[in-house]
Chains A and B, each alone.
Chain A
Amino acid sequence: AAGVIQSPRHLIKEKRETATLKCYPIPRHDTVYWYQQGPGQDPQFLISFYEKMQSDKGSIPDRFSAQQFSDYHSELNMSSLELGDSALYFCASSLRLSGSTDTQYFGPGTRLTVL
């Protein structure tokens, strides 16, 4: 079965640079979530999109922005990178069904290292 695809898998950037992370959800899934997992930490919710509209926002810095495109893939744009942005960034996708859980399936993550 197709899974969530994230690219790139690894990314090394220097401080103050920009980075773009991409997420391709499971086919027919309409909702995308982004999470950030720092070293030894639990994943923290950043932002989510449903049907190409932002649906919820968590602890996402103003330096970050994201969007979901017409083909449902999503991109997380990160500017003015800081050392503390080094983390594993997960994308998850789900199919939102009323009256049921929209179970989130996670991608393998993008490991971002800021030097």
Chain B
Amino acid sequence: GEDVEQSLFLSVREGDSSVINCTYTDSSSTYLYWYKQEPGAGLQLLTYIFSNMDMKQDQRLTVLLNKKDKHLSLRIADTQTGDSAIYFCAESIPGGYNKLIFGAGTRLAVHP
């Protein structure tokens, strides 16, 4: 079945690293995405990873994928106050014309 789970809250100190975790159930997922949503705003695509990859790095962002455990993580290095937002993990379902199934979102709070 299609289900994506995330922890709901994460609080970190400015300058520390943040790690947001996600688990998914559909082993046929081909692409997994991370979107960022600031209050009252739209969904900003941060990064994505293909299911045959283990890791993808893009500046301060590192995505790790453990396909065996169906576990995805997003690491934000040197977290800044501007990173405070809700982060959604999403999987793309093949055969479903690539509709996205989202997790509940992790609210990241960055404090001084």
Query: Which A positions have Cβ atoms within 8 angstroms of B?
Result: 31, 33, 35, 41-45, 48, 50, 55-56, 58, 90, 92, 94, 96, 101-109
Complex Cα distance A84/B43, Å? 22
Nearest A residue to B42 by beta-carbon distance? A108
- The answer to whether residues A104 and B98 also contact, given A43-B43, A90-B42, A90-B43 and a CB cut-off of 8 A, is yes
A33 → chain B, closest Cβ, in Å?
Answer: 7
Complex Cα distance A31/B16, Å? 39
Contact B97 A106 (CB under 8 A): no
Among all A-B residue pairs, the 5 with the closest Cβ atoms: A42-B102, A56-B97, A106-B43, A108-B42, A101-B31
Contact B104 A103 (CB under 8 A): no
A45 partner, pick from B41, B88, B101, beta carbons under 8 A:
B101
Q: How many residues of B contact A (CB 8 A)?
A: 23
Given A42-B105, A96-B98, 15 other A-B contacts at CB below 8 A? A31-B98, A42-B88, A43-B88, A48-B99, A55-B97, A56-B96, A56-B99, A58-B99, A92-B100, A94-B98, A101-B48, A106-B35, A106-B42, A106-B44, A108-B41
A59 → chain B, closest Cβ, in Å?
Answer: 11
Is B9 among interface residues, defined by CB-CB distance under 8 A?
no
Complex Cα distance A71/B30, Å? 30
Complex Cα distance A56/B104, Å? 22
